Chain A
Amino acid sequence: MARREQRIEHLLRRAGFGGSPDEVAELSELGYHAALDLLVFFDQTPDDADQRIGTPGHAGVTTRTQFLPDLSITDARQRWLFRLVHTRRPLQEKMALFWHHHFATAYSKIADIYGGAVATRMLGASAGYNLPTGSPRGQIEVFRDKALGNFYDLLVSMARDPAMLVWLDGRLNVRGTPQENFAREVMELFTMGIRPSDSAPNNFTEDDVKAAARVFTGWNLAVGARGTNNANDPTLAYSYLYRADRHDTTSKTFSFDIYPGGGRTIAASGEQEGLDFLLACCRHPATGPRLVRKLYAFFVSELQPAPQAFVDRVSRTFYDSNFDMQRVLLQLFLSPEFQDDSAYFARYAWPVEFVVKAIKETGWAGFSVDGALSPLLAMGQQLFEPPDVNGWDTGPGWFSTGGMLARMNFAATLTGNQRFNLREAARPSKASPQSVLSFALERLSPSPFENAPYDELLAYLRAGTSWTGSDAELLAKTAGVTHLVLASPQYQFV
């Protein structure tokens, strides 16, 4: 199938993880606006990916005893990768990944304190997998649920999220001896940022950090369910608890407005203080632009900073809609900046995007997503394990020599695994090296190859053989050339 619907493919790479040939064909029939509608208003599409795990026609998962994505972090990672490959709601998963990067929370610290089962549950528990009574959903489920929801709601959910309460020590933040970890990062990383550029003044002060820490005293953690009372207890779960007796009731004043009209001292009391403060963080004039710049880099282009007009326009929507991310995203995907062909392939592929797109385009019959977990670690992106609360170092930051080799080597593993499927798919194109190359470049969707690297691919197909199209030749060369395309610099963009 020829890949001619460039705008649809661009949309699928950005609002999703690329399309299999069938998916591209299906959305192309609908046209851009209907396709966008389907992606953004994903509630109309069934969320049935979990039910398809372990069924024929899909990538596999590797189970050790049972598949337990609520108890084993390896299975939680497999479940997410499977969903990324097979979801019918790609934008929901894409935004879940964005929020995972934005509210970056790592499994290992939680597991150090509460053990692997509880930590996995805090990050990955879902209604579909034996959620214990009294247990809140895992953090990733909140990201899915609020993927295109209200940013203020999401921020409040994160301030009360068990995994976050452990990760940034909010569980220990009490009156008299406050804990600054969450208070600092909620301003520095989750909302307004330190400052827009090196020459600009700071958005908040050290005194603001100390005051914010006091605002969140008492936002702690409680055992929500408990059975046999040990770390492997399948019913043990923790949930958020506001403890009024641990809350610092003295007054808190900030260097920025807490209320419209200029009030800088928190006027509410108790738990409401935190809600007022988080709302002020959302309303802060630096939060919208900072979030929009991040969304621009994630969805539109990394080759230039977001144009100021774009930042102004989309920030206005952010504020005017009371932080409605669906409105923000819709405006982004309808913008000329997004649709212009200069934005095609203007984004460095994240390791997860590279892996998922490679699987979707190469094929998956007989391939287990488990086979991608170690390679992803070597590429620098282990799901549920961002390097720190600032998330991953994206863009060119992904492309170290070691990371690039890891991508090439995953491509070798995948194409080796898929070589028989690839040969069958290539059989109608077996006439010549050129036709096999056309097959590979249409099946995959790299950014354009210029003449010189194109000729290298052709030279590889011709190397060591005078082309006959025999089964053995087709088996080796189709896998080989598919590997080279996936391993090429050209393929590392979406």
Chain B
Amino acid sequence: MTPNRRQFVKGGVAAFTVSFAAPAFLSDIARAQGATARNLVVLYLNGGNDALSMVVPYTNSGYYERRPTIAIPAGNVLQIGTDASGTGVGLHPRLTGLKQIFDEGRLAVIQRSGYPNSSRSHFLGTDIWSTADPSNPSGPGWLGRYLELMPQPLDPLTAWNTVRETPRTLHSRFVGVPAIPDPRTYAFSSPNGGAEATYSRQAATRIASHIPVDRPHLSFVAGTAQAAFQTLDRVASVAQYQPTVAYPNNGLGSALRAVAGSIVRGIGTKVFWVQTGGFDTHASQNPNQDTGAYYRLMATLNDSLLAFYQDMRNQALLQDTLVLQFSEFGRRVYENGSNGTDHGAGSTMMLLGGAIQGGLFGTAPDLRNTPGNPTLESSNGDIRYQTDFRSVYARVLDQWLGTSSTTVLGGDFRSPGLTFL
């Protein structure tokens, strides 16, 4: 984890900094580099999402047997059909916007996604989903490797991270990704005004441009400062963006608003990272009441995604937009004594966007505690994965980002049944 990450970044420092060369006409370079305006928004649900409360197998009796307190009544779910196993599946009652998108055929739900021997650790689990490499989860991220395959030097705004820490998914051996939580505060100030302020910015920019070759840690920080200066003005233009709909006033809403602004302004960003937390619901999960913890998580998720979806549609950019949602693990099949759920295994991924061929992919687990149940593992306590998450990544890489999934993922994870793209 942390020490490995440190070593890893250190090893990548020298190359990292040179990639921040500033082209004179950034949008031209971006256009030359990217064949299309297509973009990918990765949405991480931090904490291990209890997917059984998000996408509910409401006709499965095991669901109600093993979750006597926190199950969502069948009559309350938003039905989205019957999957290939014959299980009736419904969205959490607060996901009315996602239901609408599903009905428009623009939401794909991948049930029971995961990988063999799933880690129940937040940190190792996140690293595995981020690297798509269970055997080397301290390495660069899967999208970091994708960025490495693009023509270099990359424009520093090719990817945009909306949180403060660079997520491992975007870690690369030599491509830096700017962190821009809020474009409105992404600016440079000075203790003086007028001409002095201009001199200050010029001097700070030039100081950051001197990258010492023999002090890699200093180079790393200077490279980061340099990238900040190179992105300031374009990000300022995004801060001016007036969306066509109101976004909810929370972290995810603000992040998606900024993403929309960036896409509309066409500043060349292809990959965005957004995340929202609070999914580690060990206790008082309470998905059925509007004040309950999980209910509020669904409200944040639903309202932010719906606003983004509608904004992109109004801007006629939905066709170029794809959102991919994941979490580090699913939660335990049965509830614990605190009306919550502990760390589990298989989970549910969702994808939405104008090019998505929506629907239900994979089958729901049979949650009954029956001997030899093939859809469960660890004494029928956790969900056994059916679709390898790397197959979902592979489809996105091949069919959306137009690269080679076998190169990025280091193996052939293509699955012909995943026809969502």
Contact = CB atoms under 8 A, between A and B. Distances in A.
A binds B: yes
A452 B179 CA distance: 28
Given A178-B336, A403-B164, A464-B195, A378 B185 contact: yes
A476 B232 CA distance: 24
A412 B208 contact: no
A380 B186 contact: no
Interface string A395-436: 111011111110011001101100100000000000000000
Interface residues on B, range: 35 or more
Which of B7, B164, B232 is packed against the most chain A CB atoms within 10 Å?
B164
Interface in B4-63: 4-7, 9-10, 13, 46-47
Given A169-B282, A302-B217, A457 B203 contact: yes
Interface residues of A, number: 78
B21 to A, nearest CB: 16
Given A198-B4, A400-B164, A456-B207, A408 B188 contact: yes
A401 B227 contact: yes
Interface stretch (A13-21, A332-340, A364-372, A385-393): A385-393
B338 A395 contact: no
A179 B190 contact: no
B343 interface: yes
A463 B224 contact: no
B195 A198 contact: no
Given A393-B2, A401-B227, A181 B282 contact: yes
A389 B220 CA distance: 27
B228 A401 contact: yes
Interface in B164-190: 164-166, 176, 178-181, 185-190
Given A180-B343, A394-B2, A463-B203, A450 B210 contact: yes
A484 B204 contact: yes
A463 to B, nearest CB: 4
Nearest to B161: A400
Interface string B216-237: 1110111011011001100000
A314 B14 CA distance: 32
Contacts of B207: 453, 456-457, 484, 488-489
A193 B183 CA distance: 37
Contacts of A395: 2, 5-6, 9
A378 B185 CA distance: 9
Given A180-B342, A401-B179, A489 B191 contact: no
B186 to A, nearest CB: 6
Given A453-B210, A489-B225, A479 B283 contact: no
Contact of A176 (B2, B204, B337, B340): B337
Contacts of A401: 156, 176, 178-180, 186, 224-225, 227-228, 231
A409 B6 CA distance: 26
Interface stretch (B72-80, B120-128, B361-369, B394-402): B120-128
Contact of B188 (A297, A304, A409): A409
B151 interface: no
A402 B337 contact: no
A399 B191 contact: no
A400 B178 contact: yes
A348 B13 CA distance: 14
Interface string A236-250: 000000000000000
A479 B232 CA distance: 23
Contacts of A482: 191
B354 to A, nearest CB: 29
Given A198-B4, A390-B122, A409-B188, A177 B338 contact: yes
B164 A380 contact: yes
Contacts of B203: 456-457, 459-460, 463, 484
Contact of B217 (A184, A297, A346): A346
Contacts of B3: 293, 297, 305
A249 to B, nearest CB: 16
Interface in A304-326: 304-305
A372 to B, nearest CB: 15
Contacts of A442: none
A490 interface: yes
B319 to A, nearest CB: 30
B6 A480 contact: no
A303 interface: yes
A209 interface: yes
B123 A180 contact: no
A346 B220 CA distance: 13
B138 interface: yes
Contacts of B340: 169, 172, 179
Contacts of B104: none
A294 B166 CA distance: 21
A412 B164 contact: no
A211 interface: no
Given A450-B210, A456-B210, A400 B283 contact: no
A453 B208 CA distance: 8
B222 to A, nearest CB: 4
Contacts of B206: 453, 456, 459
A418 to B, nearest CB: 9
Given A172-B337, A390-B123, A464-B195, A400 B204 contact: no
A262 to B, nearest CB: 27
A206 interface: yes
A54 B265 CA distance: 49
B214 to A, nearest CB: 10
Interface in B106-143: 120-124, 135-138
A379 B206 CA distance: 22
Contacts of B192: 416, 476, 479-480
Given A198-B4, A305-B7, A453-B210, A479 B191 contact: yes
B181 A396 contact: no
Contacts of A169: 282-283, 338, 340
B2 A172 contact: no
Nearest to A400: B179
A397 B166 contact: yes
A483 B191 contact: yes
A400 B337 contact: no
Given A390-B122, A397-B165, A401-B179, A419 B283 contact: no
Nearest to B176: A401
B338 A397 contact: no
Which of B121, B212, B293 is packed against the most chain A CB atoms within 10 Å?
B121
Nearest to B122: A388
A402 B180 contact: yes
Nearest to B157: A401
B200 interface: yes
A172 B221 contact: no
15 contacts: A177-B335, A179-B336, A180-B343, A197-B4, A297-B2, A378-B164, A399-B224, A401-B176, A403-B179, A416-B191, A460-B200, A463-B203, A482-B191, A488-B208, A489-B208
Given A177-B336, A396-B6, A463-B202, 4 more contacts: A172-B282, A297-B6, A395-B9, A419-B191
Query: Considering the complex of A and B, which 8 residue pairs feature the smallest CB-CB distances, nearest first?
Result: A177-B337, A400-B179, A172-B338, A416-B191, A460-B203, A401-B178, A401-B228, A489-B221
Interface of A: 112-113, 168-169, 172-174, 176-181, 184, 188, 193-194, 197-198, 206, 209, 293, 297, 302-305, 346, 348, 378-380, 387-390, 393-397, 399-405, 408-409, 412-413, 415-416, 419, 447, 450, 452-453, 456-457, 459-460, 463-464, 476-477, 479-480, 482-484, 487-490, 492-493
